[in-house]
């Protein structure tokens, strides 16, 4: 197993534990055991549990945002914005432990930035259709 494959296995195992049992279940020992590794092996990839949780949140959210980016619009920018909102709320409800990791004040991950870019694009399409009553940056801020 390559270093990249081992890291992916650790992150996916931790994501599964997080999804199934919550953040308290994601300990270095539990993740290592579930991944078939010795606990010290995880420290070759992650400084501590928080770094592992950050990697898990980034992994899950990156997959989610990639799916949002690929979604074709309906032609109605307001309906698309509404669908994006519903999808985001659905993601949070389906992944409460991961969502909790992502909404930590001051934490801005690459996946979160990509998600904001999708939101800004949808807001821009609403503005281009003449259906926005506030400046685009303010609308994006309000929706976010």
The pLDDT of residue 72 is 64
Q: Position of tokens 């010795």?
A: 38
* Calculated CA dihedral for residues 138, 94, 69, 127, nearest 10 degrees: -30
Average pLDDT estimate for 104-130: 85
Mean pLDDT for all residues in the chain: 88
- The better pLDDT of the pair 51, 109 is held by 51
Q: Across residues 105-125, what is the average pLDDT?
A: 83
The parent domain of residue 24 ranges over: 3-143
Supply the pLDDT for residue 95.
Answer: 85
pTM equals 0.72
Number of structural domains, the chain? 1
DSSP character at residue 95: -
Q: Any idea what the CATH number is for the domain that residue 87 is in?
A: 1.10.357.10
Question: CA separation (Å) from 111 to 13, 53, 56, 100?
Answer: 20, 14, 11, 15
Residue 144, classed as helix, strand or coil, is coil
Would you give the DSSP letter of residue 27? -
Mean pLDDT of 72-101: 87
């Amino acid at each position: 197993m390559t270093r990249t494959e081992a890291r992916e296995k650790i992150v996916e195992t931790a994501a599964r534990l997080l999804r199934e049992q919550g953040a308290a279940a994601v300990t270095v020992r539990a993740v290592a055991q579930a991944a078939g590794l010795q606990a010290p092996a995880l420290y070759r990839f992650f400084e501590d549990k928080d770094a592992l949780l950050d990697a898990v949140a980034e992994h899950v959210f990156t997959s989610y945002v990639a799916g949002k980016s690929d979604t074709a619009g309906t032609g109605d920018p307001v309906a698309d914005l509404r669908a994006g909102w519903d999808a985001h709320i659905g993601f949070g409800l389906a992944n409460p432990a991961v969502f909790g990791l992502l909404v930590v004040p001051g934490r801005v991950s690459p996946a979160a930035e990509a998600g904001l870019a999708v939101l800004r694009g949808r807001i821009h399409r609403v503005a281009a259709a003449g259906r926005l009553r506030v400046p685009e940056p303010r609308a994006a801020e309000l929706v976010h």
